[in-house]
Amino acid sequence: MTSSPLNILIVGAGIGGLSAALTLRRAGHNVDIYERSGLNNEIGAAIHICPNASRGLLALGLDPVAARFVNAKKSWRAESATLKCFHEADEGYVARKFGAPWWWCHRVDLHEALKILALGEKGEGKPAVVHLKKGVTSYDPEAGSVTFADGSVASGDLVIAADGVHSKAVEAVIGYPNPALPTEKYNFCYRFLIPTAEIASDPETAIWTEGDEGRIKFIVSEGRRLVWYPCRKYVSLLNSR
């Protein structure tokens, strides 16, 4: 707990912004978050939380059971032409080797868990305060301030830009445009969710759910792969590249 709390502004209430808010709240600072949306329509699909991230989340009080995270236990790989398995592995060693678990989860569940920890009354420090529908139009690094679309201005001891790759903070800090560029041609992926119950209820696909607790599957071909793993109880992700 710091003896001289800072007044900190965080722009963006996504995973990065909420994680920063939670950490700074626990350190004893006053945190205000400014979010351009209404924070009522969070989207996304499944994501991995590797040990370097899960270690920090556990230290900050995140409960993976309440958040419905899945522990990674095993992996399975097959050729796309034949669907014949050519490799299986036990991934249970991850937590023992690296000192923290490897989780799979739905992005919305992670975001909700962080929101509760950063904004809720429980926990160390003063809860962060979120201000909704406050889109930022400009940053002033020298003044430590941000200007919003409605013309209002907020300033603090520290401003953290957590509003994505298109943040106006980048140009304000480095002094010249540095736009986010698209990935190389054909380097893309499709992400979608399929309820496991639907796969299990179809006799033609039920086999794909057998022994799937904590298992990630890869179906690979030259230059492409389909990645499939559970992310919330009976929900799985198909991620094709």
Per annotation, catalytic residue among 25, 34, 215, 229: 229
Pairing relationship of beta strands 190-195 and 70-71 according to DSSP bridges: unpaired
C-alpha to C-alpha distance for 203 and 205, rounded to whole angstroms: 6
Residues 6+ apart with CB under 8 A from 225: 218, 219, 240, 241
Angle in degrees, CA 94, 95, 97, rounded to 5: 65
Residue entry with tokens 């039920």: 206
Note whether 36 and 163 are within 8 A (CB): yes
Write down the residue that tokens 């994505």 correspond to: 164
Q: What is the DSSP string of 101-150?
A: --EEEEHHHHHHHHHHHHHSSSSSSPPPEEEES--EEEEETTTTEEEETT
Closest listed residue to residue 167, CA positions, set 151, 152, 146, 150? 146
Q: Give the active site residue among 26, 36, 191, 225.
A: 191
Cα–Cα distance, 57 to 52 (Å, whole number)? 9
User: Coil, strand, or helix at residue 195?
Assistant: strand
229 is catalytic: yes
Residue numbers annotated as active site: 191, 229
